[in-house]
Structure 1
Amino acid sequence: MKIGDKVRFLSEVGGGVVAGFQGKNIVLVEDEDGFQIPTSITDVVVIDNDDYNIKHDVQNVSTVKDEDEDYDPADRPVTFTAQPEERKGGDALSVYLGFVPVDIKEITNTKFEVYLINDSNYYIDFTYLTVEGTSWNLRSKGTVEPNTKLFIEEFGREVLNELERVAVQFVAYKKDKGFLLKPAVDAQLRIDTVKFYKLHTFQENDFFEQSALIYTLIENDKPVRPLVVDAKKLKMEMARKASDDNKPRAVVQNARKKSKDEPVVVDLHANELLDTTAGMSAADILNYQLDVFRKTMDSYMGKHGVKIVFIHGKGEGVLRHAVIHELNYRYKNCSYQDASFQEYGYGATQVTIK
């Protein structure tokens, strides 16, 4: 049954022309006077002539209909779904997490919307989680179609503390066709909630008409470095490296020596040794710095006369005191002094291997 068909009422005399539909079950029948009569679709039947005034047995007609099941194809539900269009370059996986202020003009009071942005030709099945202590909580899960973004949730400032650390885990695939297998992604982010109070935090971008804060989860098949450092994994990695051959260049990656007579220079600043210190306590950072110091010293022990300059910074002097303590108790045979101020400024100690 479709618009323009001539129909007859089954339960009474009369009929008209199909003028439209209301939902799936109601048809609008327009009579000769131009009135549209809402009628159940089961109470009308399509006819080939203009004789609307013949009343038929409703029971017999409906019985025949049930047996024949002769429906017009236009009445059947649409089951075909067009495949999403793929774009050139979209087979490299790029996924982002976007935070969008509902009313950026009221940045101190507005709510925020969270979106998962799938800038690739793959389907993404994801979970979106936040952590409380050591326990993770599921906030949302779902599927993002290729080259689209999906609304996840809306939140206010009262829950900002819950979002200081979030994780997005997902797998990528294509439907009804072959594809290159992509590794599952587990991206953990530390969200700086202070940014949600600053207007300049939200920038113009390629995914929203309004300004947004965008975090990269993976881009061009390259996952971002985790913003959360697992201190236990870090210590295990340090222990593993300690068992390797003590070759100076292999152990001391940031040591530099310009010529034979110049000292080896090792910068112990955390930002020189680590890509990020997020998730690490001050004790974790100090232990890592001292581990580099010890490995450097051990790798040059026995090479008499070699000079090593350790740049530890002035700061509060915690690292310097720890280095001096190591020299006094672990490396008693080596002499040390303040390094040249002109070359290294304050905050450097020169050690001579004996």
Structure 2
Amino acid sequence: MKKGDKVRFLSEIGGGIVAGFQGKDIVLVEDEDGFQIPVRVNDVVVVENDDYHVNPIAPEPKSHEEKDYDPADRPVTFRAEPEERKGGDALSVYLAFIPVDPREMTRTKFEAYLVNDSNYYVAYSYLASEGANWSMRSVGEIEPNTKLFIEEFDKEGLGTLERVAVQLMAYKRGKSFMLKPTVDVQLRIDTVKFYKLHTFQENDFFEEPALLYTVIENDQPSRPLVIDAKKLRQEMARKASNDVGPQVVRPARKQVKDEPVVVDLHAGELLDTTAGLTAADILNYQLDVFRKKMDEYKNHHGAKLIFIHGKGEGVLRHAIIHELDYRYKGCRYQDASFREYGYGATQVTIK
């Protein structure tokens, strides 16, 4: 900018010709009437015509984000690589269950986790059996030496977890590594254990007691649920060839065809402790055991089941009779042999 330049004001309408300067920051602008107006150099702009009557250019308002911008608010995009630990190159993965409220074992929900106790990333799928088919319950990736929450379920959801499968593929990122075979393990979950507090033990992975099932440990997968008949025959033949000395053959106990299945429904036989449980809680649990056993044998026509419920006030017996009358109408029932089972037992025959 120099004397004689035509300028326009930025913050108001008007302008003129540069008549001189006052110091470094002030310019004298002579308007149409010959008056010299002192203006800051930053408040004028050089123009090529005499049209000074242009609306002033207002500075763009700062957005709310720019106004409150703080570099510390920027999202963290850097992620440090997980540290490897000594001995962690042997693959170990566990399926863990934890009660949400251990003080209410008959009502509590449960959380399921996968624990990756190795230096490998693990891609996993977690499935539950539905007869001959399977349903996917969770799929994803677990970072090295971490545990991952996979689902929460309640008492009703326990019945869908009696047989589960875990499939794994292990790898490392940004470095070479020893190749691990893929893992496909089926596990049978004992759902009755979920109502016994002592089932959940102290462990190295959680602050709370947990029930752990081994998927793979030190590169050795858990024993498969489905037994390979060929391998079983080979193992039996190998063991027989290694046995030394005379063999003592003991006659096997003869299986009685109509031998009944005996189920003791006393709370003391089913639960480690009844502390904190109401009478209704205990009764509901006993009936759950009764229903599971009836469902297990529903296709075993002619099978006899003995349910020992005790004499007491007859509450459990009446509840069982009600179940038989309405839920299992096709089954016959009668008092079981007093000589063998006492007064408090009911015999059910599956039709």
Q: So what's the TM-score if we normalise by structure 2?
A: 0.51
Instruction: Tell me the distance in 1 between the aligned counterparts of 2:80 and 2:72.
Output: 18
- Contact 1:111 1:154 (8 Å CA) reproduced: yes
- Give the 3-state SS of the residue equivalent to 2:192 in structure 1: helix
Partner of 2:108: 110
Give the Å deviation of 1:108. Answer: 1.2
Cα distance change on mapping 1:180 and 1:314 into 2, 3 Å? same
Instruction: Tell me the distance in 1 between the aligned counterparts of 2:148 and 2:208.
Output: 16
Cα distance change on mapping 1:153 and 1:72 into 2, 3 Å? closer
Instruction: Tell me the distance in 2 between the aligned counterparts of 1:207 and 1:102.
Output: 16
Cα distance change on mapping 1:160 and 1:56 into 2, 3 Å? same
Partner of 1:57: 58
Give the Å deviation of 1:311. Answer: 3.1
Q: How far does the alpha carbon of each residue in 1:173-222 deviate from its partner, in whole angstroms, 9 at most, with x for none?
A: 11111111111111110001110111111111111111110011111111
Q: How far does the alpha carbon of each residue in 1:271-330 deviate from its partner, in whole angstroms, 9 at most, with x for none?
A: xxxxxxxxxxxxxxxxxxxxxxxxxxxxxxxxxxxxxx4334325378xxxxxxxxxxxx
User: Which amino acid is 1:103 matched to?
Assistant: D
Cα distance change on mapping 1:238 and 1:214 into 2, 3 Å? closer
Q: So what's the TM-score if we normalise by structure 1?
A: 0.50
Partner of 1:316: 255
Cα distance change on mapping 1:60 and 1:98 into 2, 3 Å? closer
Give the Å deviation of 1:160. Answer: 1.0
- Give the 3-state SS of the residue equivalent to 1:138 in structure 2: strand
User: Which amino acid is 1:169 matched to?
Assistant: Q
Partner of 1:183: 181
Cα distance change on mapping 1:74 and 1:188 into 2, 3 Å? same
Instruction: Tell me the distance in 1 between the aligned counterparts of 2:158 and 2:73.
Output: 49
- Give the 3-state SS of the residue equivalent to 1:214 in structure 2: strand
Counterpart mapping for 1:82-121 below 5 A: 82-121=80-119
- Pick the structure with greater CA Rg: 2
- Give the 3-state SS of the residue equivalent to 1:152 in structure 2: strand
Partner of 2:209: 211
Q: How far does the alpha carbon of each residue in 1:71-128 deviate from its partner, in whole angstroms, 9 at most, with x for none?
A: 9976765322110111111111111000000011111110000000001111110000
Instruction: Tell me the distance in 1 between the aligned counterparts of 2:184 and 2:169.
Output: 9
Counterpart mapping for 1:1-354 below 5 A: 57-58=58-59, 77-226=75-224, 228-230=225-227, 233-234=228-229, 236-237=230-231, 250=238, 252-253=240-241, 255-257=243-245, 263=246, 265=247, 309-314=248-253, 316=255
Give the Å deviation of 1:229. Answer: 2.3
- Give the 3-state SS of the residue equivalent to 2:249 in structure 1: strand
Say what the alpha-carbon RMSD is for the aligned residues: 3.3
- Give the 3-state SS of the residue equivalent to 1:58 in structure 2: coil
Instruction: Tell me the distance in 1 between the aligned counterparts of 2:61 and 2:162.
Output: 68
- Give the 3-state SS of the residue equivalent to 2:198 in structure 1: helix
- Give the 3-state SS of the residue equivalent to 2:253 in structure 1: coil
Instruction: Tell me the distance in 2 between the aligned counterparts of 1:238 and 1:93.
Output: 26
Q: How far does the alpha carbon of each residue in 1:130-159 deviate from its partner, in whole angstroms, 9 at most, with x for none?
A: 011110110000111111100000001101
Give the Å deviation of 1:56. Answer: 6.1
- Contact 1:249 1:255 (8 Å CA) reproduced: no
Give the Å deviation of 1:252. Answer: 2.6
Partner of 2:15: none
- Contact 1:201 1:213 (8 Å CA) reproduced: yes
Give the Å deviation of 1:57. Answer: 3.1
User: Which amino acid is 1:219 matched to?
Assistant: E
Cα distance change on mapping 1:206 and 1:311 into 2, 3 Å? same
Partner of 1:50: none
Cα distance change on mapping 1:106 and 1:56 into 2, 3 Å? farther
- Give the 3-state SS of the residue equivalent to 2:103 in structure 1: helix
Number of equivalent positions:
199
- Give the 3-state SS of the residue equivalent to 1:310 in structure 2: coil
User: Which amino acid is 1:252 matched to?
Assistant: A
Cα distance change on mapping 1:79 and 1:249 into 2, 3 Å? closer
Instruction: Tell me the distance in 1 between the aligned counterparts of 2:138 and 2:77.
Output: 28
User: Which amino acid is 1:58 matched to?
Assistant: P
Cα distance change on mapping 1:253 and 1:197 into 2, 3 Å? farther
